A and B are shown apart, each in its own frame.
Chain A
Amino acid sequence: MTNLVSFHEAFSLPAHLHANTPAEHRGNDRSDVKLLHTERKSGRIQDHTLTDLTELLQPNDLLLFNRSRTIPAQLVSETDNVTVRLARQLTETSWEALILGKDKTVVQLQDGVTLHVQGDGSEAPLKRVTFHGLHEPVLSFLHKYGEPIRYEYINTPWSLESYQTVFASVPGSIEMPSAGRAFSWKLIHQLKQNHIQVGFLTLHAGISYYEDNQWPDPLHHPEAYMIPAETITAIHEAKARGGRIIAVGTTVVRAVESYAKNKHSHQGAWKDTTNLFIQRETPLQLVDGLLSGLHEPHSSHLELLRAFLPDDALLSSYQHALQNNYLWHEFGDVHLML
């Protein structure tokens, strides 16, 4: 396996492996998901459950979570027969958005609020839009009338709460940073009791799919992130103690490696916007391991995974996941590359 195109075509996802129900609604706890472990050095593959992390990780390892909170980013205008998916916030009232349905320059929303299309966004098909007539913070309006973005494999309108991690506390993600979804506070407390360190940062995840077989290009899709001072200190202390930095989710890799690229030894809080595109050739400066969901053949997340595993090992892992009925997407199982 030598190139991304061939990797993308190396597997297809059968319908029954699209997780369409949150774990806790499948009759279990939210942390009761399967964990596929691929050893980075040997390529060895093992089956676990997420709660085995307390044994798989070692004291001094630092597990980093993205605490960005999913906002209800999809608005429907029944008057105009248009669906708007917000993609990225530019100012309080100005956003990039994907507009599905009729071609409109003004979209009528609820409470007399209108959305004005101002021009093209950072890449097609995104548009730059502005809210007009708001009588409350835009986030309050979104919470009243918006819905979480749900893709075609979801056949139940799960609530916004289903699209949150338990630690989500900085509103701003268009889609849930889903690798952390399966963690419960109980599991996090157990990890801490086993002297596994835990830290938080924020990267507001953008939209992951433009419909019609179009995916965002990370280079044209900048995302805001913030790493608190205490997390930066924890990263440097873990490294100094010989612990490993394990990112929960590709968003965390993107934030930490963007920080490393810019200010490796900075000690205060670090806030920036990144368009870093991590791929097979990208050297990882700080992150040693990744816990991620399972990704579709054409997503850019899969490209990021190639920075952690050689193509052969990654493909073997995915074949193993397919054969062993691992579930894909935000409500699915997880994959530890360490």
Chain B
Amino acid sequence: MKDVMVITGASRGLGKALTLHYAKQGYRLGICARNEEEVMKVKEEAIALGAEVVAVRADVANAKDVDRFVSVVEATFGTIDILLNNASIFGPGPQLLADYDEHMFQDVLHTNVLNPFLMTKRSLATMLTNDRGLIISITSAAGQTGFAEWGAYGVSKFAVEGLMQTWADELSETETEVCLVDPGEMNTAMHDIAVPNCDYPLLEPEELLPLFDHIIQHRGTVNGKRFDIDSFLEEAGQ
């Protein structure tokens, strides 16, 4: 039986592409998003591809929603093998920090930092008792370099990198692994906010999928690593 994979922010962009990709491969999927109608639509598409899917409307920056979502997945499939922490928001942009609204800053940090913390902590209960697990969190080049007008989004991704580095160190003696994926600049609704009227080519979310396959195939060697799509495609000769 194929692994159980949980994907947050599954209704659009990379989250949706990952859901449909792993549905085709026969994974049992637990997906969530804040928009119920959209996540249910993705669920139907994934079921049409032959997957078993549990979809829940949930805001994963909210601890109660996280517990409800993960509990429903555990009760349905009995386990969680892989967690993809994909959900995040950009906030206002492009905008100088000097102009940035304080409440918006708090909202972006709260959403982008708390959600991978809550989802990872909650899923670890299953993974550590099973002695098996893989957690992939989405980061950004803006999580290592501060870019003008990317605002709280970049700051939040710095925090996500610190969070996952800390967890990777703490889990180094276990069979559960944590790693990061920097997906580069993708053609998504979020990128439209960050870079309106973008005049250079962008990757489509589907072009990221081989990198996720690569990480899953190399389980046992990925803890603490940071993968970026540009290096991956370059090594693959693309």
B110 within 8 A of A: no
**Interface residues of chain B: helix, strand, loop or mixed (majority):** helix
B44-75 contacts to A, CB under 8 A, are 54, 56, 63-64, 67-68, 71-72, 74-75
* B75 in contact with A167 (CB, 8 Å): no
* A143 in contact with B64 (CB, 8 Å): yes
CA A65 to CA B125, docked complex, whole Å: 13
CA A143 to CA B58, docked complex, whole Å: 12
A185 within 8 A of B: yes
**Interface residues of chain A: helix, strand, loop or mixed (majority):** mixed
List B contacts of A172 (CB < 8 A): 75
Contacts A143-B67, A200-B129: A170 and B78 contacting too (C-beta < 8 A)? yes
* B74 in contact with A171 (CB, 8 Å): yes
* A166 in contact with B125 (CB, 8 Å): yes
Contacts A67-B129, A161-B63, A166-B125: A140 and B72 contacting too (C-beta < 8 A)? yes
B126 within 8 A of A: yes
* B71 in contact with A143 (CB, 8 Å): yes
List A contacts of B67 (CB < 8 A): 143, 160-161
List A contacts of B56 (CB < 8 A): 136, 140
* B125 in contact with A167 (CB, 8 Å): yes
How many chain A residues touch B (Cβ–Cβ < 8 Å)?
23
CA A193 to CA B173, docked complex, whole Å: 10
B188 within 8 A of A: no
* B75 in contact with A139 (CB, 8 Å): yes
Contacts A137-B76, A139-B75, A140-B56: A169 and B129 contacting too (C-beta < 8 A)? yes
B128 within 8 A of A: yes
* A168 in contact with B125 (CB, 8 Å): yes
13 A-B residue pairs with CB within 8 Å: A65-B129, A137-B54, A137-B72, A140-B68, A143-B68, A160-B64, A167-B125, A167-B128, A167-B129, A168-B125, A169-B74, A169-B125, A169-B129
Chain B positions near chain A (C-beta within 8 angstroms) = 54, 56, 63-64, 67-68, 71-72, 74-76, 78, 125-126, 128-129, 131, 173
